[in-house]
Homo-oligomer: A and B are copies of this chain.
């Protein structure tokens, strides 16, 4: 690679990294564990990657944790353009809507498109795999993405369950079923704690 090619490549890498910084300004519905403020999607992505490191023994043996970590680091970048769509908003239907999926795919085109072509393809493939939620790695990553807000709600006195008037059945359906797919024992343990909250 010539010096000029290295310059161009670094310019593209930093165009992406500087744009990614905006994820720190995207607010989620969930609060911090101490309830002091809403969580942003940048720090949420860090926390999830730490979840993957810490809860690796809850994954299927086929899961490659380092790929899960990379997926989780990238998974919310599209929210820079689209914003966070809370799982319990619009009666639990907004999150998987076709409109949202189309907007997120367009955002992925733009944001990963800032990178040099090889990295753009690599990161986009990881994000597509996460979104498709079919491989063991993606299913475990999705489980963690669903379990972390449950813990935040439990720790902060109900959080978005109170705000969106969520029932324990809705939690099972919208959240628990997805946690159980990638981390069944983890959901058993967390579910018992949510029962104690919903039916004190």
Contacts and interface: CB of A to CB of B under 8 A. Distances in A.
A199 B153 CA distance: 50
B70 A13 contact: no
Contacts of A49: 46, 49, 69, 73
Contacts of A110: none
A57 B123 CA distance: 15
A51 B17 contact: yes
A43 interface: yes
Interface in A128-181: 151-152, 155
For chain A, what secondary structure do more than half of its interface residues adopt (helix, strand, loop), or is it mixed? helix
Interface in A42-57: 42-43, 45-47, 49-51, 53-55, 57
18 contacts: A9-B57, A10-B186, A13-B55, A17-B151, A18-B33, A20-B47, A21-B152, A21-B155, A25-B36, A42-B43, A42-B46, A43-B43, A43-B46, A46-B46, A49-B73, A50-B73, A54-B119, A66-B66
